[in-house]
Amino acid sequence: MPIIRPKSAQILCELVQVQAPKRVLEVGTAIGYSAILMLEHAPDARLVTIEKDACRLEIARQNFEKAGLSPRVETILGDANQVVQNLDGTFDFIFLDGPKSHYGRQLPHLLNHLSVGGTIVADNVLFMGKVLSGEYPAHKHRTAILRLREFLQLVQTNPNLESKLLDVEDGMLIIKKIK
């Protein structure tokens, strides 16, 4: 089951704890592990999480219940590419951990829902070190790698954003909306 790696989880928890968001969005619930971590480190936060796989989302709901966090979580079953276009309100913090090749497509919609001063953390942006290699990717991972390169370019050239790429585990991109 794909869950956030230990060092990345530690960074995510530290960011959430320091920023103390009130409203968090997670794209890619899986079994709810990272959502639980974020809520444990932001005790005043409410979280909306999106997952396409119904079986994974059911496991996540059970995990939220076991952790006593269900009242603070809204789960959405659906394709994040469509869901992010129809969200209500703004978020102070967004954790982007769904399909990596969709990050760039989702970014404009996520930015529309991110408050000024808010943060997006995108996980696994280096894709086994291949995103920054400069090499043309082999067919098997070509789409994901090329789209992650485009995503990084979109973020780094947007004058409304500041970003920092962390070369930890499979890479994390921390994005702050400055205007």
Q: What is the pLDDT of residues 127-154, one digit of tens each?
A: 988 898 888 878 888 999 999 999 999 9
Average pLDDT over every residue of 17-28: 97
Element (H, E) at 27: strand 23-27
Please state which of the ranges 51-55, 65-69, 102-106, 124-128 shows the lowest mean pLDDT: 124-128
- Which of residues 129 and 75 earns the better pLDDT score? 75
Residue 65 forms part of a structural domain: yes
Residue 50 lies in a domain: yes
Residue 17 belongs to what domain range?
6-177
In a domain? residue 113: yes
The reply to whether 1 falls in a domain is no
Domain of 28: which CATH number?
3.40.50.150
**Are 115 and 177 a contacting pair, CB within 8 Å?**
yes
Domain assignment of residue 42, yes or no: yes
pTM (predicted TM-score): 0.95
Residue 69 pLDDT level (bands cut at 50, 70, 90):
very high
Structural domains in the chain (count): 1
101 within some domain? yes
Helix (H, G, I), strand (E, B) or coil at 160: coil
The answer to whether residue 114 sits within a structural domain is yes
Contact 163, 175 (CB under 8 A): yes
Domain assignment of residue 19, yes or no? yes
46-51: strand order across its sheet: 73-77, 46-51, 23-27, 91-96, 114-123, 172-177, 161-166
Q: What are 90-130's pLDDT values in tens digits?
A: 999 999 999 999 999 999 999 999 999 999 999 999 998 88
* Share of the chain residues as helix, strand and coil, in percent rounded to the nearest 5: 45, 25, 30
